[in-house]
Amino acid sequence: MLEFSILAILATCIAGMMTRAQSRKRKREALLPVWERENGKNEIEKWLEGFLAKLKRTSTRTEKCRLILAVERMQFEDDWYAAWWKHVRFGEENVKILDTGINVGKKDLQKIKITEFQKELLKSNASLKNQLIGHSEIKEEKGEWQIPAELKTKIISEGGEALIFSEKFGICENAVRVQIFDPFLFSNNFGLNFLTWKINFEKDYEQATNKEQSGKANQMPKYKNIIKNFVNIELFHKKDLKKEDCIGMGHNYGKGWRRFENCFEGRKNWN
């Protein structure tokens, strides 16, 4: 019997120590910026879902415009093609970019595999398939952001397809920059339900570059001496299973880090 009770006390003692240690750890964690915390990505994700649900905008562009923009986001075998292509034609599996200018030697520039995102666009308007679409047919965007009042007060800068908010993460005041690459993103027909994302912390990039010494490819954009980029969030269409066509970005910058706000003063377009 004696043995038993000693064991019991010991057990509660350890249990008590554990909860105290855990709460100390929680307190320590709460003082850390989100991106330093153990489950930081979950916390960012929780915040992201609420935040994205509030973003709304309109667009005056068409599906044709979206397709042209989606081609502009593609990586061609020769960087020059980005400037040269004048027409594009979507087939079943491939997209062909053409230089239809007069006196051009090479008219068929490249045939590339259609992305999942482009497939989705073609599904919503099949008449765009097998049609010669001109690069210059893209229309001017006259749509606007429609931000709810509670979020509007947090806007630091607004211009074109990018918005910058001031947002608190725990004890840290940060700037969140949102940029859309697909004009329908956050419009009525293309909201949170259609989205998936990749959340990257600055330390992920550091680890990746240390491991591979890959230099450019895997780095987070850094604006030396101005702002520090802590979190990068890439948005994708849910059906883009390989996450190959990023249609929107969120950056989380340190604020107050070298007087962040001054950087944006008088600057409507942060592009």
Ligand X SMILES: *[C@@H]1O[C@H](CO)[C@@H](O)[C@H](O)[C@H]1NC(C)=O
Interface contacts to ligand X, rule CB under 6 A = 62-64, 125, 127-128
* Minimum CB–partner distance for residue 128 and ligand X (Å): 5
* Minimum CB–partner distance for residue 142 and ligand X (Å): 17
- Per DSSP, the three-state class of 64 is helix
* Residues in a beta bridge with 235: 197, 248
Q: How far is the CA of 137 from the CAs of 26, 61, 64, 67, 68, in angstroms?
A: 55, 11, 8, 11, 8
Which residue, 124 or 146, is less far from ligand X as judged by CB? Answer: 124
Measured CA angle at 111 (ends 238, 241), to 5 deg: 15
Which residue, 22 or 131, is less far from ligand X as judged by CB? Answer: 131
* Minimum CB–partner distance for residue 123 and ligand X (Å): 12
- Per DSSP, the three-state class of 266 is coil
Which residue, 85 or 184, is less far from ligand X as judged by CB? Answer: 184
Which residue, 145 or 184, is less far from ligand X as judged by CB? Answer: 184
Which residue, 19 or 127, is less far from ligand X as judged by CB? Answer: 127
Contacts of 258 (CB under 8 A, 6+ apart): 225, 226, 227
* Minimum CB–partner distance for residue 121 and ligand X (Å): 10
* Minimum CB–partner distance for residue 138 and ligand X (Å): 11
User: Nearest-CA neighbor of 75 among 130, 103, 113?
Assistant: 113
